[in-house]
Amino acid sequence: MEIAVVEVLSLGLRKAIGTNKTVDVEANSLERNLRLAYEVAYFYKTQLYWEIRKWETNNQPFHVLQILE
């Protein structure tokens, strides 16, 4: 059985760390909020971003990432 990090975080926020209501810190809610909190500027600085861009250059006309410019 595999337990996701978000599930452990959810459990911790409900039991060990805080007194949050279950509905406020369910794993699905936490995952959504973490995705929303991750700014695209951080992603642009990652190796993954540059590897995807390199792949796009080598495999034109395919695009994986949305062009924001």
CB 6 within 8 A of CB 30: yes
CA atoms within 13 Å, Cβ hemisphere of 61: 0
CB 18 within 8 A of CB 24: no
How far is 18 from 27, CA to CA, in rounded Å? 15
Q: What is the pLDDT of residue 20?
A: 60
- 45 with 33, same domain: the answer is no
Mean pLDDT of 5-10: 86
Q: What is the pLDDT of residue 19?
A: 62
Q: What is the pLDDT of residue 47?
A: 97
- 2 with 33, same domain: the answer is yes
- 69 with 48, same domain: the answer is yes
Q: What is the pLDDT of residue 56?
A: 94
Range of the domain at 14: 1-38
Q: What is the pLDDT of residues 19-65, one digit of tens each?
A: 666 777 788 888 888 889 989 899 999 999 999 999 999 999 999 98
Structural domain tally of the chain?
2
CB 43 within 8 A of CB 55: no
- 15 with 43, same domain: the answer is no
How far is 68 from 61, CA to CA, in rounded Å? 17
Q: What is the pLDDT of residue 42?
A: 92
